[in-house]
Amino acid sequence: MKRFSRKRSLGDSIFSITNGIFMLLVMVVTLYPFLNTIAVSFNNGLDTIRGGIYLWPREWTLQNYVSVFQNPNLTQAAFISVARTVVGTVVQLFCTAMLAYVLSRKEYMFNKLVTTLFVMTMYFSGGLIPGYMLIKQVGLLNSFWVYIIPGLIGVFNMIVIRTYIQGLSEGLIESAKMDGAGDFRIFMRIVLPLSKPVLATVALFIAVGQWNSWFDSMLYTAGNRNLTTLQYELMKLLSSATSQGGTVNVDSFKNVTNMVTPVSIRAAITVVTAMPIVLLYPFLQKYFVTGLTIGGVKE
């Protein structure tokens, strides 16, 4: 192919250039809103209202962030968000992987039945109200564990891991069995270490899901301010400001200075909430593309 590259036609070059420009445009459209939000978050709140802040702050200030971090509600919410992300990721990853291992064993007697039971839940559920009543009945309402237990198994993630495990060498597992290892031991000592790429992918999915979720917080823990998450607190601030055209209750932030406005506070919290993901994901990206392609659409 390389040999012909000199003979590229004019049309070909025009296509390449247009395509390149289009891709730059895609990047601008994707990145600009972030960069703008970051710029606003570092800009003096009152000055922002005058408009004209694009990619760079005009009047630098850290006041917005100081206000955010001095708000006791938000620091508590951030703690809960971190806690649920860490605990949730570890527990859910382990449970999902263990079930995936069991269902990857062809000799497992209830393989088909259990697989069907889990896959079915991808397509329907009891619904919001019956689900809420169940959570209430089992005593998870206003408890930290409501973030962990109901999501113990992610069915899609389970299928992705199972597909990966099925691709591992069967001989390895057979020979471990010959040596007298039980299934649990094989799972812990052989399958888990060999599945690192797919586990990293799924861990990213679970962590992002945990970090981003707010609906469970609104539904199940709104009665207990000590358990709400960062996203939910952000949602309360945003929904009071953005769409209704009303104003955020900034009084709780005003003890520091009167330089903050709803817009600047919103930008600062958005940056704080998005930052962990933005920082983490480039490192895990190389895993998820391969991980997903393996698990893929199949089944």
Partner 1 sequence: MAKKELQPSLKTSHIPAGTSWIGYNLSRMKSQRQLMWMSFPFIAFIAIFAYGPLWGWLMAFQNYRPGIGFMEQDWVGLDHFRTLFTDPTFLRVIRNTLAMSLISLFLGFVGSIGLALLLNELRMILFKRVVQTVSYLPHFLSWIIVTGIVANVLSTETGIVNVLLTKLGLIDAPINFFAEPKYFWGIVGLSSMWKEIGWGTIIYLAAMASINPSLYEAASIDGAGRFRKMFNVTLPSIKPTIIILLIINVGNVLNAGFEIQYLLGNGLVQDVSETIDIFVLKYGINLGNYSLATAAGIFKSVVSLVLIFIANGIAKSLGEERLI
Q: What is the CA radius of gyration of the chain?
A: 25
Token pair 């990721």 is at which residue? 89
Site for partner 1 in 168-187 (CB under 8 A): 182-184, 187
- Cα torsion through 113, 115, 118, 124, rounded to 10: -80
Nearest CA to 101 out of 161, 26, 11 is that of 161
By CB under 8 A, residue 223 contacts partner 1: no
Identify the residue among 83, 149, 168, 176 touching partner 1 (CB under 8 A). Answer: 149
58-66, 69-77, 86-94, 205-213 -> range binding partner 1 (CB under 8 A)? 205-213
**The residue count for the chain:** 299
Site for partner 1 in 123-142 (CB under 8 A): 123-134, 138
Binding mask 72-91 toward partner 1 (x if CB under 8 A, else -) reads --------------------
CA distance 55 to 58: 10
CA distance 221 to 123: 26
Q: Is the Cα dihedral 275, 278, 284, 289 positive or negative?
A: positive
9-17, 84-92, 191-199, 248-256 -> range binding partner 1 (CB under 8 A)? 9-17
Closer to partner 1 by CB, 193 or 244: give it: 244
Identify the residue among 195, 231, 261, 264 touching partner 1 (CB under 8 A). Answer: 231
Site for partner 1 in 15-44 (CB under 8 A): 15-16, 19-20, 22-23, 26-27, 29-34, 36-37, 40
By CB under 8 A, residue 60 contacts partner 1: no
CB distance 180 to 214 below 8 Å: no
CA distance 208 to 79: 16
72-80, 98-106, 193-201, 247-255 -> range binding partner 1 (CB under 8 A)? 98-106
CA distance 239 to 245: 9
Please report, for the chain, how many H helices and E strands are present, in that order: 14, 0
Identify the residue among 2, 3, 6, 11 touching partner 1 (CB under 8 A). Answer: 11
Closer to partner 1 by CB, 66 or 209: give it: 209
CB neighbour class for 127 (10 Å; exposed up to 12, middle 13-18, buried from 19): exposed
By CB under 8 A, residue 53 contacts partner 1: yes
Binding mask 240-279 toward partner 1 (x if CB under 8 A, else -) reads --xxxx-----------------x--xx--x--xx--xx-
Closest separation between CB of residue 251 and partner 1, Å? 20
By CB under 8 A, residue 162 contacts partner 1: no
State the number of CA atoms in the 13 A half-sphere of 164 facing the CB.
Answer: 30
Number of chain positions touching partner 1 (CB under 8 A) = 100
Closest separation between CB of residue 211 and partner 1, Å? 8
